[in-house]
Chain A
Amino acid sequence: MTDVAETCVQENPVERYLRMDRIPHIWCPGCGIGTTVNCFARAIEQADVDLEKLAIVSGIGCTGRVAGYLNFDSFHTTHGRAIPFATGLKLANPDLKVVVYSGDGDLVAIGGNHFIHAARRNADLTVICVNNFNYAMTGGQAAPTTPLDAMGTTAPYGVCERPFNLPFLAKSCGAVYVARWTTYHVRQITKAMVEAMNKDGFSFVEIISPCPTLYERRNRLGSGLDRMKWFKENSVIKNGSDTRNIDIAYQQPIICGKFVDIDRPSLLEVTEAKIGDIRGKQRWADVSRRQKKSIEQTE
């Protein structure tokens, strides 16, 4: 029905946010990371973000490559150190909107300490964590998010350790916005990303993603599509649920939703107030004036 000449007429709306010289990307067929990038591209259209002042910071790993594919000011940092780099970036230049886009192995395993301290400080970051339950780029080793009894390269008889419950970790450390969705919930992910980016302080979005080449293959869970269908049938939406009760167990229903949305003074606000008192209002007053100006411009 569709005319062949007409097939490629219109450019994909995501392409204007991508470095097209690097596409096609290296992610496997059925990997969910590309889906999250789609959602992110649509979220920045909806959020109040100045694209000239948007910075993407990634660590190492499959999801760490997002910073290389998105055509913004981006920063591909050392393993696990995406959050410290991002915190420094935000404090040195408060005008920037800093988004940390990384994987579970990077953010909460190697960078676990940075994660909890950024949440404790309420650093002005939006953290997007794509959780595929293992270290995918290095060959499927068990990560701190691999569910109990699931197989991994380093766990041939099943994992013996209890995994992290990331929303609970973020909430208990003081994050102001916490949500969890699977890659099946594309509209909800987009909405969560918009809300997280419009929030001052440490906002955290966990996205459960298929990893068909490693996690699904080792556990014989089928293809990426089978996993997406499983997400569709086995995810339970419970907005505002107590984060203590939303552990992920192997092949048990995944509880999704927005769990935390509170207001707390962010690191930048507290710093401005404190340092402003000590050093004199000059420098930080400049900063707030610039912020006001940028708000006026957007309005």
Chain B
Amino acid sequence: MAKESATSVSSEEKSAGAPKKARGQVYILQERCKGCGYCVEFCPLGVLVMSSRFNAKGYHYPEVAHAEKCSGCDLCGMYCPDFSIHGARRPTKE
């Protein structure tokens, strides 16, 4: 399932003229977030933005705005005081 969706995303990317593949991936647990904004502020590549939506607790949570920029450095994961976000490097198969 996940593989299929990933391939479909990449084909979309190609059609949009942005074939660059991201080196990393951000994983977000929206419901655990308390909206401190550390990840958005300190992401060195500006991958994240604060969502305008709320989670069940009433906090704004981060969203991925530029997935193609993510390097998987996991700095967001180190800053997050609520353990709700982390980054991981994608395996380089090519």
Which A residues contact B (CB, under 8 angstroms)? 1-3, 5-10, 12-15, 18, 23-25, 27-35, 37-39, 42, 184, 186-187, 190, 223-225, 228-229
Q: In this assembly, does B45 line the interface, its C-beta being within 8 Å of a C-beta of chain A?
A: no
How far is it, in angstroms, between the C-alpha of A6 and the C-alpha of B38 when the chains are bound? Answer: 23
Q: Tell me if A1 and B67 are in contact (CB < 8 A).
A: yes
Residue from A1, A13, A37, A228 within 8 A of B86 (CB atoms): A13
CB-CB nearest 7 A-B residue pairs: A34-B81, A1-B67, A29-B34, A186-B78, A30-B36, A3-B5, A2-B64
How far is it, in angstroms, between the C-alpha of A228 and the C-alpha of B81 when the chains are bound? Answer: 12
Q: Tell me if B5 and A5 are in contact (CB < 8 A).
A: yes
Chain A at the B interface: SS class: loop
24 inter-chain pairs at a CB distance below 8 angstroms, sorted by A residue, are A1-B9, A1-B64, A1-B67, A2-B26, A5-B1, A5-B2, A7-B28, A7-B29, A7-B30, A10-B27, A23-B83, A24-B34, A29-B35, A29-B59, A30-B36, A32-B81, A33-B81, A34-B80, A34-B81, A38-B81, A184-B42, A187-B78, A223-B37, A225-B38
Which B residues contact A (CB, under 8 angstroms)? 1-2, 5-6, 9, 25-30, 32, 34-38, 41-42, 59, 64-68, 75, 77-86, 88
Contacts of A225 in B (CB 8 A): 36-38, 41
Q: Apart from A3-B9, A34-B82, A38-B81, list 4 A-B contacts with CB within 8 A.
A: A3-B5, A3-B6, A6-B2, A10-B27
How far is it, in angstroms, between the C-alpha of A38 and the C-alpha of B9 when the chains are bound? Answer: 31
Contacts of B64 in A (CB 8 A): 1-2
A14 to chain B, nearest CB (A): 5
